[in-house]
Amino acid sequence: MKFFLLLISFIYLFAYENVTVQLNWKYQFEFAGFIMAKEKGFYKQAGLNVKLKEIDKNIDVVDYVLKHENTYGVGDSSLIDSALHKRAIELLMPIYDHSLYVLAAVNIPEFKTLQDIKKHDVIMDQFAIKSPAILAMLKAQKIDISTLNIKQMNYFEDINKSGVFAIYESNKLYELQKLGIPYKLFKPSDYKFDVYGDIFFTSRQEYNNHPTRVKKMIDATKKGYIYAFNHIDETINVILNKYNTQHLTKEKLLFEAKILKKYLSKTFTFDTERLDHIANIYILVEGVRHVNLKHCHKSLYNSIYYYLKFTKKEQEFIKTHTIHAISTDSWEPFNLMINGSLGGIAIDYWKYIKSVAKIKSTCTVVHQWDKVLNSIKDKKSDLTCSTTITPDREKYALFSKPYASFPIVLATRNDVGFVNDIEVLKDKTIVVGKDYTAAKLMKKHYPNLKLLEVKDTNEALKLVSEGKVFGAVDILPVIAYKINKYNYVNLKISGKTPWTFNVRFMIRKDYPELVSIINKVIDSTPKSKRDEIYKKWIAVKFQTGYSNEYVNKIIIGISLVLILILILIIYLIRNIMKKTKLEKELENLATIDKLTSIFNRYKIDMALNEQIEIAHRYNRPMSVIFFDIDHFKRVNDKYGHKTGDLVLIELVKLISQNIRKSDIFGRWGGEEFLIILPETTLIQAVKLAEKLRKTVEEYDFEEIPSINISIGVTQLQKGDNITSLITRVDKFLYKSKENGRNKVSFG
């Protein structure tokens, strides 16, 4: 046993991949995400051994990253300038949504406007001199930087002198305020020049050669930042004990954390409009910085600008053709009707491609997939947005590159165990959409299966739900979306098939120019745009494989006998982990609300039934809190649905922080939420409800000033079932609304 434990330890030792992160300053709270990802083991959990490296005054961060393998770096929006100048870097994610560089007129009482900068010394370090927002702010005020008395400093120490300092708002403001030194701030954002703060990046070589490692670094670092800003005191103590090379005080770190929390990225993804805005800033400062934008275009490639070159033939095609698209409206979430309009992943992608390539188009919506195929075959339509290649379709159509890939999965009733091999389904009836790719694959590779073809996946899932067939097959997003949307509470995703569905555009055979145009836009589509589309419709990402890099490291220096033993152990561990993780992801997909990440209606219904049964069986108290947001429609109408979604996310986080771990919290629908309180009397539940109401009322939301909630509370009574309990608590919720809202009613 000890031998095997030593072997497993040996495996893990060699399994870690060594990675370096070159920071762009000394350790402080600014880099709390990297520090906590390392200290809390998030990197280790991803198989990464990460070394954090403080800056040295002789280091150019971009040069360092490009010259060293397995290396990542932190920079600011000047990285976009580096990318524009064809340096081989890839921008991975923004850490802070806004730059903290500001100009501070220190100890100059007579300093009134930015124009007064011409009369004083300007102290900038090596980074501020490259800040596009600072330069653009000066340029917009018609201040020629070459005429200023600039004193460049590598490390800014003496804040007591008079002058105009380029400072980091979260850092040097603390010293000014503590010493009582008068100052006046000039922020680029006040002049409409808003750029990203810290940006996480790596070399293009690392990005292309090790995509799995890049994703692990992004995910673990993001997790580190979320943890750090949710546990500020703990993070400060870690910095003070292990990373305090600048001899910072707890008070100063807390000051820094409070400012940075306002700037921390909400999504950790790039926004194309923001990047366009930053490109325009470079255009403004071109005369100062000599930025060459002639080869750049407003389309992005991996978060930088990429020139889309359409040939003369392609340009002529775009100019002379109106593309007639055709689509079904029942393959959710790729094609579906929303408020009378066609939407979905495929439709959003087509809209994006049209906007980039300036394509004119029309769209016909039909209900049957075979009509789509026949229309393309007969050249009555030119394109459809979501299909894949099959031999029969290649006879009459052309196909784009894939813009998404998903596993084909099996859905069954809840009483079926995990299915990891299609062979076990030999005696079962499997239902699939007629002429769907899944149907063709099943017929080809498993001809002996009992396969039933129906109109679409809606009908397939209905048959499974009614117990008339064993399971339904389609691609992961379609199955998951429909189970959630149509409340198939007795269905789950039980396993996956051996196949992956590559989603493509299908184009009529005589339009090769259109294929080429679409492929160029797909190639140039930034990761941020892809993420934006997918996250809008898909709740979880699916793991598709494992890297062979671990195995290569394990076999070094190990004898043939040990290699055989290690391979066996690795194989067993990976299969267990893979199956466990897959089951967990499939379960989350069907039970978690994709916007707020708490239980969805399906799961909260199940939990409520379970708790009612437990409370009745053991004669224990149980209460429920039912609440919704007052006048939430006004929030959406005034601020937009995107802001409304952010408010819902923030509200859920606030409520979660103020209830017990044993309480069960879920989204009932829209802006309505249910909290199940086991072992809780009515008096205790009312007290909690009043606390939640007051907490929400007093909370300062990021996106809007404030909101209120109306609450209904009731305790489970003898003979209650889920219907009677929800009916009663809903009555008290509406009583709160009728009495003026922002109230708690109970009984």
Q: At residue 74, does pLDDT exceed 80?
A: yes
632 φ, ψ to 5°? -70, -25
Query: pLDDT tens digit string along 378-414?
Result: 999 999 999 989 889 999 999 999 988 888 889 999 8
With helix as H, strand as E and coil as C, how does 373-401 read? HHHHHCCCCCEEEEECCCHHHHCCEEECC
Q: What CATH number belongs to 2-96+197-272? A: 3.40.190.10
Does the pLDDT value for residue 544 go beyond 70? no
Q: How far apart are CA 428 and CA 448, in angstroms?
A: 11
Distances (CA, A) of 297 to 27, 272, 280, 357, 533: 37, 12, 11, 12, 21
Topology of domain 601-746, per CATH? Alpha-Beta Plaits (3.30.70)
Q: Are 75 and 204 in contact (CB under 8 A)?
A: no
Q: Which of 12-16, 149-153, 270-274, 708-712 has the lowest mean pLDDT?
A: 12-16
- In this structure, of 57-61, 259-263, 580-584, 687-691, the range with the lowest mean pLDDT score is 580-584
Contact 93, 268 (CB under 8 A): yes
Which one is catalytic: 671, 702, 703, 738? 671
* Residue 292 pLDDT: 37
pLDDT, residue 581, reads: 58
pLDDT of residue 384: 96
Q: What's the pLDDT score for residue 387?
A: 92
- pLDDT of the residue at 360: 94
d(CA 655, CA 661): 12
Residue pair 66/89 in contact (Cβ under 8 Å)? The answer is: yes
Give Cα 738 to chain centroid, integer Å: 39
> What mean pLDDT is predicted for residues 506-526?
90
Classify residue 641 by burial, with Cβ atoms within 10 Å: 0-12, 13-18, 19+. Answer: exposed
Region 183-208: what's the mean pLDDT? Answer: 88
CATH topology of domain 101-191: D-Maltodextrin-Binding Protein; domain 2 (3.40.190)
Whether the Cβ atoms of residue 283 and residue 106 lie closer than 8 Å to each other: no
Q: Which residues contact 395 (CB under 8 A, 6 or more apart)?
A: none
Euclidean distance between CA atoms 532 and 704, whole angstroms: 23
Other CB atoms within 10 A of residue 25 CB: 18
Judged by average pLDDT, the poorest of 529-533, 546-550, 573-577, 615-619 is 546-550
Three-class SS state of 112: coil
Instruction: Supply the pLDDT for residue 659.
Output: 94
Whether the link from the prior residue into 512 is cis, omega within 30° of 0, is no
Rounded CA-CA distance 472/434 in Å is 12
- Across the chain, mean pLDDT equals 83
pLDDT grade for 273, boundaries at 50, 70 and 90? low
100 in Cβ contact with 263 (< 8 Å): yes
Element (H, E) at 200: strand 199-203
Query: Which phi and psi (to 5°) does residue 463 adopt?
Result: -65, -40
Confidence of residue 508 (pLDDT cuts 50, 70, 90): very high
CB 598 within 8 A of CB 656: yes
**Structure pTM?**
0.43
Rounded to whole angstroms, the Cα distance separating 729 from 715 reads 9
Average pLDDT of the residues in 293-310: 40
Cβ atoms < 10 Å from Cβ of 18? 11
pLDDT band at 524 (very low <50, low <70, confident <90, very high): confident
Distance CA 375, CA 34 (A): 54
pLDDT of 543: 32
pLDDT band at 290 (very low <50, low <70, confident <90, very high): very low
Q: What pLDDT, in 10s, does the model give residues 574-592?
A: 666 655 555 555 555 567 8
Whole-number pLDDT of residue 695: 94
The residues, any chain, with a CB within 8 Å of residue 263's CB and separated by 6 or more, are 96, 97, 98, 100, 170, 197
Residue type, 189: S
Q: How many CA atoms lie within 13 A of 247 on its CB side?
A: 0
Q: What is the pLDDT averaged over residues 421-445?
A: 86
Alpha carbon distance 479, 489 (integer Å): 13
Pick the CATH number of 308-542 from 3.40.50.300, 3.40.190.10, 3.10.20.740, 3.20.20.80: 3.40.190.10
Which of 421-425, 451-455, 498-502, 663-667 bottoms out in mean pLDDT, i.e. has the lowest?
421-425
Confidence at residue 634, expressed as pLDDT on a 0 to 100 scale: 87
Q: pLDDT confidence of 416, banded at 50, 70, 90? A: confident
% of the chain with per-residue pLDDT over 70: 84
User: 257, 32 in Cβ contact below 8 A?
Assistant: yes
In this prediction, what percent of the chain has a pLDDT beyond 90?
42
Indicate if the pLDDT at residue 556 is higher than 60.
Answer: no
Strand partners, 101: 168
Instruction: Provide the token pair at 419.
Output: 């299915």
DSSP symbol at 16 = P
CA distance 736 to 728: 13
Confidence of residue 303 (pLDDT cuts 50, 70, 90): very low
Q: Is the pLDDT of residue 155 over 70?
A: no
Per the model's pLDDT, the better-predicted residue between 275 and 499 turns out to be: 499
Lowest-confidence pick of 591-595, 607-611, 665-669: 591-595
Mean pLDDT value of segment 184-200: 86
What confidence score (pLDDT) does residue 85 get? 66
Residue 122, H or E segment:
strand 121-125
pLDDT at residue 677 greater than cutoff 80: yes
The number of residues making up the chain comes to: 747
Predicted pLDDT at 731: 93
**Do residues 264 and 95 touch, judged by C-beta distance below 8 A?**
yes
Select the more confidently predicted residue: 16 or 280: 16
pLDDT(687) > 70 = yes
**Lowest mean pLDDT: which of 547-551, 597-601, 649-653, 664-668?**
547-551
Residue predicted with more confidence, 146 or 371: 371
Which range has highest mean pLDDT (35-44, 132-141, 305-314, 554-563)?
Answer: 35-44
More confident residue, 658 or 546: 658
pLDDT beyond 80 at 148: yes
The amino acid present at 46, given as its one-letter code, is A
500 neighbors 408 (Cβ within 8 angstroms): yes
Tell me: pLDDT of 294 over 80. no
Please spell the DSSP secondary structure of 182-199, one letter per residue: -EEEE-GGGGT----S-E
User: Could you give the angle at which helices 512-524 and 345-357 cross, rounded to 10 degrees?
Assistant: 100
Beta bridge pairs of residue 150: 122
Q: What is the largest CA-CA distance in the chain?
A: 88
Which residues, 6 or more positions from 638, have their beta carbon under 8 angstroms from its beta carbon? none
Mark whether 453 is an active-site residue.
no
Top pLDDT among 34 and 85 is at 34
Q: Which of 10-14, 271-275, 284-288, 627-631 has the highest mean pLDDT?
A: 627-631
**Confidence category of residue 279, pLDDT binned at 50, 70, 90:** low
The alpha carbons of the chain give a radius of gyration, in whole angstroms, of 29
**Tokens 């030792």, residue?**
13
Reported as type and span, the H/E element at residue 259 is helix 250-263
pLDDT at 642: 84
pLDDT, residue 293, reads 33
